[in-house]
Structure 1
């Protein structure tokens, strides 16, 4: 999850209409979010096949998600600074070209090290894309519709989870996992043409006067949001990265695509609810999201012998998780105030550090304790998340938002 907020003036031609949303452009940006999200999480659905084909264990193959996140975490801040003067459209097209190249190499690679290099490059491309997508959406919309514009763009995440990963898993089972990555290349190439045709240009931004990272950390509310981001994403990633392995242990390996479909569908419902109520109920929605994922983890830990309850738990998990990216980036932007750009950059880095940490931690848990340890780890991590959200009443997760886009 990565984003950029800005209060910089836009070019006169960059707004399609001061009373309407430029849906064509926003849907192109949503597709870019879809590609970045699907490229990141697709190995979770085809992990056993990838590990068998490349001759490595599943815990080692799970690091293909980790290395992607490492690429983003290491490069998001420096690349964002280095390309701040670039025009936004040019930068977004460059990022999409990076995805096309990385997925092509992943599809063709027969060597584990080369695959990992390609995954790292894809993560670097994601660092470029996520550093500008939310800010791009805000700048394309009139002020009173900026929140809705971001919500439209962020639908790319649940669509990737609800349709993309299950479809990729199904195609991987049917035609081979390499086909799924080849299709990702084709989609990225098509999106490049779409962006070139319909997305308005936006200027770059000067770096002068930007608040430093340390100043952002001193702003009340920023640290609690960043802590929640790190731990919540870590908890989610531990289970999601190895969901195919977890389901195989339960004897539900053949239902991985259906389970992911249920998760993604619930995530879409979640982001719709969050988009409708975030301006008035950010705190309540964040607490509810944490509790829903905790209940899901408890169910998977204690009642996973029942396939029906596994599907119920996954639905609750998706319902809790789907709106979390929007909730956290809105919370950090509100808390950051004048330091919002720096706070958002740190959120990008911590999000991906958590993704990387989740892949590593999940692999360690799998080797030491088996896949049944995943739900317990999720539950243990969510307890401090709930405590911090509950405590950050004045800043970070206030009952009423201080400023609404």
Structure 2
């Protein structure tokens, strides 16, 4: 199996995810520094901007992502990046905190259009037979934002000012928009223009079961991820740097899984899905058993990143192949569900964490992966039955 050819298109798409992800993740570690610039405000007040960003992203992905199907995903992405740049520039210049809130809300609107457009373009430019490898490469943009973006943001905030963080991201978004506008041959949209939306895309046969799997899968991840830091700091009395290390190790595992995308193309999505989702359940159960063992938790975070990357690849590929003519709208649904699950996971897992601890949260995550595993087994059995029928005839 040949490796995916790294083109200018893929580098631009990966970098776009990295910039969007860096903005969504950078505010939390610099919240205290930002709050110091606004008298009478706390870090908790600043984090409200991140919440508004997430809600705006979910709403935008649900209502506006179909622009990628109407005007072309590359045009939608270019315009979204320009809006993102203006929003981040406004965030950098915020004279009062409520201006930062507004800026992040507009950044969320841009991200809700940009992310589905990126996933749509990834499917368009992927070579036949190397779809999963291509998607895996682009998904490493999240690793860059998690490992490099967050660290660089904290460094810029310490050495210069927190406003420098948003200024650099705004500049990067403009450069990417220009790069995308000058790049040609983004592939062909299947079916031409469509008047569908993410809401009408819900009528596509078979999509609801996959989206339910996505919702359960994302809730499992974000619910546990949200309380990993509090568990390490409160229950295990470890310094914040250890929590940062655990997140970085997860990010490295997520990025290291990129070359494994070729396994999906080589052995088929259904077979790899069975192994991946079963493995992810075991990882969550391992996190449950090692809840009080810091070094084991750290090692499992690496495996968690690998398994989560493969799981996301499989779910996103399934969605991308359901109806190529409405791919933008479908990916809008995916992005909307993802960002809603950030809130759902934190909300639903809070009483579990408060009353029963991190181990119980990990067990809940393992159970939430069960629907995806059941779906994968069903797909594999149907494929085997089809092969048997074909061989008999």
Report what 1:25 is aligned to: 9
The CA distance in 2 between the partners of 1:339 and 1:203, in whole Å, is 13
Residue 232 (structure 1) shift: 1.6
Q: CA deviation at 1:264?
A: 1.2
Q: How big is the shift at 1:383?
A: 0.4
Structure 1 residue runs of 5 or longer lacking an equivalent are 1-19
C-alpha distance in structure 2 between counterparts of 1:171 and 1:285, whole Å? 41
- Could you tell me whether the CA contact under 8 Å between 2:69 and 2:328 is conserved in 1? no
Q: Deviations over 1:234-258 (max 9, x none)?
A: 2222343465544433322023443
- Is 1:143 the counterpart of 2:122? The answer is no
Distance 1:180 1:73 in 2: 24
Contact 1:297 1:375 in 2 (8 A): no
Match of 2:103 in 1: 118
Q: Cα offset for 1:329?
A: 1.0
User: Residue 10 of structure 1 corresponds to which residue in structure 2?
Assistant: none
SS in 1 for 2:66: helix
Do the aligned residues in 1 keep the contact of 2:74 with 2:117 (CA within 8 Å)? no
Q: Is the CA contact 2:78–2:178 (under 8 Å) kept in the aligned structure 1?
A: no
Counterpart of 2:248 in structure 1 is 261
* Contact 2:120/2:328 (<8 A) preserved: no
In the TM superposition, what is the alpha-carbon distance from 1:126 to its structure 2 partner?
1.1
Residue of structure 2 aligned with 1:188, choices 155, 173, 176: 173
Describe the superposition over 1:131-171 as per-residue Cα deviations: whole angstroms up to 9, x where unpaired: 22222233334434444433332221223223323333454
1:220-369 aligned at under 5 Å gives the runs: 220=206, 222-241=207-226, 244-249=229-234, 250-298=237-285, 300-301=287-288, 303-335=290-322, 343-361=330-348, 364-365=350-351, 369=354
Instruction: Name the Cα RMSD after superposition.
Output: 3.8
Distance of 2:294 and 2:308 partners within structure 1: 21
Q: CA-to-partner distance for each residue in 1:41-95, whole Å, 9 max, x for gaps?
A: 223444555566663354x655544322321221224323356432443322211
Deviation at 1:125, TM superposition (A): 0.7
Deviation at 1:324, TM superposition (A): 3.1
* Cα-to-partner distance string for 1:183-202 (whole Å, 9 max, x where unaligned): 22232222233223335467
- Deviation of 1:266 after TM superposition, in Å, equals 0.6
Q: What is the alpha-carbon distance in structure 2 between the residues aligned to residue 149 and residue 141 of structure 1? A: 6
Aligned-partner Cα distance in 1 for 2:68–2:57: 15
Give the aligned partner of residue 391 of structure 2. Answer: none
Question: In the TM superposition, what is the alpha-carbon distance from 1:32 to its structure 2 partner?
Answer: 0.9
Q: Does 1:198 align with 2:186?
A: no
Q: Give aligned pairs, total.
A: 376
Matched, 1:56 2:27: no
Q: 1:27: how far off?
A: 0.8
Tell me the TM-score normalized by structure 2.
0.78
Shift of 1:229: 0.9
Determine which of 73, 79, 84 is the counterpart of 2:64: 79
